[in-house]
Amino acid sequence: MELAVWTYEGPPHVGAMRIATAMEGVHYVLHAPQGDTYADLLFTMIERRSKRPPVTYTSFQARDLGGDTAELFMEAARDAYARFKPQAMLVGASCTAELIQDDPGGLAKTLGLPVPVVPLELPSYQKKENWGAAETFYRLVRACAGPRLPRAEGAAPRANILGPTALGFRHRDDVAEVTRLLGRLGIAVNVVAPMGASPADLAQLGAADVNVVLYPETAGAAAAFLQRQHGIPATKIVPIGVGATRDFIAEVAGLVGVDASGLLAEAASRLPWYSRSVDSTYLTGKRVFVFGDATHAVAAARIAAEELGFAVVGLGTYTREYAREVREAAKAHGIEALVTDDYLKVEEAIAALRPELVLGTQMERHIAKRLGIPCAVISAPVHVQDFPARYSPQMGFEGANVIFDTWVHPLMMGLEEHLLGMFREDFEFGDGAAPSHLGHAPAPAPAPVAAGPAAWAAEAESELKKIPFFVRGKARRNTETFARERGLATITLETLYDAKAHFSR
């Protein structure tokens, strides 16, 4: 049993729903108890979709358990086919139905439906949402993809865009941005899937020269299958950040044999200039903690270090499937990756590191609130405000512009930060007040860091309070480490400044 205050991912059948809902002409019959329809709200409310997800639930109740729940499932599947006439049907079980073992796949086969029926085996007590999405997409691609078709003489090269789903963080706009990039390289888009694709479209996947994998978490398995089975190469670089976008352009151009030098020569994003302009100098060395799915966390760490000049002090992911990639990235920043889906472990790590900015998920916003640290969202899980109406990609050159604005926004602006370092008793812009451009009441005082063995002398304690709020936690921690390493019983004014000198080297 695992204590979950918050969970980073839903159960795997929600991943399957993300595929079904993203597509057209697919219906999902889910054996599930009454109440599991809450998942519809993720799509109708968080993502604000205007159609019901194409999911029929059996909604069994306690009184059905004594009877024939298998018959209930058959009836629901028959009804769903008759009513919705899909091109392909997914059948599976949610966590509770998995326990009663009715075998939806086997049952659906006996119905003899005239369309492909794809049974989903999604082990709810081992696997999670992204795995469920990847597995479902892979099963559908396996069932539907046709043979590889060679490109006609003189035709433009074609690419599939794989990975965007329903309920994906900025998937809608990332697809638009990457489509634009490919267009400028002279590469046509063959099929975007699962988002907007039908089973008939999946049959056309073989007509592409390359698979552009935007989200390895959801499309990795399907792309590997298409490479293995049909010999279609897949991209490895995800174009989030200016550097990664340039690398992606070079990679995809190389795979299909087009010239990318024109596009690469352009200064297509405003991030580099914004980041070089002197207003950004104060961003140098800001200590950031990065957490999210593997793709977004790795991309964010690179942007933070190479494009904004931050110091990455923590990097982690809840995506165990891509832990190796995150560990390698962390090594490049000289830190140890945190691979966990335990929210409390992430909270502990952030509390111990005391960063000045947290780049994370909706869950890290809870932690940041508790600790009074500025925070920006870079990855799912996210809530309704991160499915915005405006164009907000993370990928490509416009994505980099969006990222610059989003990440810098929660930080104290430069002038305010300077004045706070000099005068901390102002009644309005006082110590610990939230940045005034955010228009909030003062942030809560940060929870005290676990006290070291050394006691603080009153004089040192009051000196500590003169250090600006957002770096005070780190100063306290460093001083206590310094005292502990030297076996000092009391922290004096001298110790504080000795520690400052020691750590500033």
Residue 359 touching other proteins (CB under 8 A): no
14 binds other proteins (CB under 8 A): yes
Q: Quick one: 6 or 429, whose CB is closer to other proteins?
A: 6
Q: What are the tokens at 327? A: 């560990």
For 24-68, where are the alpha helices, taking DSSP H only? 38-41, 62-65
Q: Which span (43-51, 270-278, 316-324, 479-487) binds other proteins, by CB under 8 A?
A: 43-51
Q: Which is nearer to other proteins, 342 or 417 (CB)?
A: 342
Task: State which of residues 66, 112, 125, 153 lies at the interface with other proteins (CB under 8 A).
Answer: 125
Among 142, 365, 424, 500, binds other proteins (CB under 8 A): 365
List, as one string, the DSSP characters of 334-382: TS--EE---HHHHHHHHHHH--SEEEE-HHHHHHHHHHT--EEE-SSS-
- Select the residue interacting with other proteins from 50, 261, 277, 504 (CB under 8 A): 50
Angle at alpha carbon of residue 408, lines to 425 and 239, rounded to 5°: 165
Interaction of residue 345 with other proteins, rule CB under 8 A = no
Of the candidate spans 44-52, 180-188, 193-201, 308-316, the one that interacts with other proteins by CB under 8 A turns out to be: 44-52
Q: Check binding of 65 to other proteins (CB under 8 A).
A: yes
Secondary structure element (H or E) that encloses residue 213, with its range? strand 210-213
Binding-site string for other proteins from residue 393 to residue 432, where x marks contact by CB under 8 A and - marks none: ----------------------------------------
The binder of other proteins chosen from 25, 59, 434, 463 (CB under 8 A): 59
Report if residue 67 touches other proteins, rule: CB under 8 A: no
Cβ burial of 498 (10 Å; 0-12, 13-18, 19+) is: middle
Q: Which of 67, 68, 71, 79 binds other proteins (CB under 8 A)?
A: 79
Q: Give the C-alpha separation, 265 to 471, whole Å.
A: 40
327 binds other proteins (CB under 8 A): no
440 touches other proteins (CB under 8 A) = no
389 binding other proteins? (CB under 8 A): no
CA distance 468 to 118: 59
Q: Considering the complex, what minimum distance in angstroms separates the CB of residue 106 from other proteins? A: 20
Does position 445 interact with other proteins (CB under 8 A)? The reply is: no
Long-range contacts, 39-42 (Cβ 8 Å, 24+): 39/10, 39/13, 39/14, 42/10, 42/14, 42/17, 42/167
45 lines the binding site for other proteins (CB under 8 A): yes
Minimal CA–CA distance to 130: which of 394, 316, 383, 381? 381
Nearer to other proteins, 5 or 501 (CB): 5
Residue 180 CA to residue 396 CA, distance in Å, equals: 9
Least distance from other proteins to the Cβ atom of residue 9, Å? 7
Which of 236, 369, 437, 486 contacts other proteins by CB under 8 A? 369
In 3D, which of 431, 498, 427, 430 has the Cα closest to residue 471?
A: 431
Backbone angles phi, psi at 361, to 5 degrees: -105, -175
Whether 279 is a known active-site residue: answer yes
Residues in the chain: 505
Which token pair is 42?
Answer: 């993720």
Q: Which two tokens stand for residue 159?
A: 């690419």
- Both structure tokens of 176: 């638009």
Cβ proximity to other proteins: between 195 and 377 the closer is 377
Least separation in angstroms between residue 52's CB and other proteins is 5
* Beta carbons of 139 and 122 less than 8 angstroms apart: no
Identified binder of other proteins from the candidate list 28, 60, 397, 407, rule CB under 8 A: 60
Alpha-carbon distances of 385 from 74, 213, 404, rounded to whole Å: 39, 26, 18
Among 142, 366, 424, 502, binds other proteins (CB under 8 A): 366
Catalytic residue among 279, 386, 405, 498: 279
Kindly tell me which of 67 and 262 has the beta carbon lying closer to other proteins.
Answer: 67
Determine the distance from the C-alpha atom of residue 325 to the mean position of all C-alpha atoms in its chain, rounded to a whole number. 15
Q: Which of 4, 352, 450, 501 binds other proteins (CB under 8 A)?
A: 4
- Side-by-side strand order, sheet with 117-119: 55-57, 26-31, 88-93, 117-119
Tokens of 230: 């049909």
SS3 257: coil
Q: Which residues bind other proteins (CB under 8 A)?
A: 1-7, 9-11, 13-14, 33-42, 44-46, 48-52, 56-62, 64-65, 76, 79, 83, 94-96, 99-100, 124-126, 128, 344, 362, 365-366, 369-370, 381, 383-384, 444
Catalytic (active-site) positions: 279
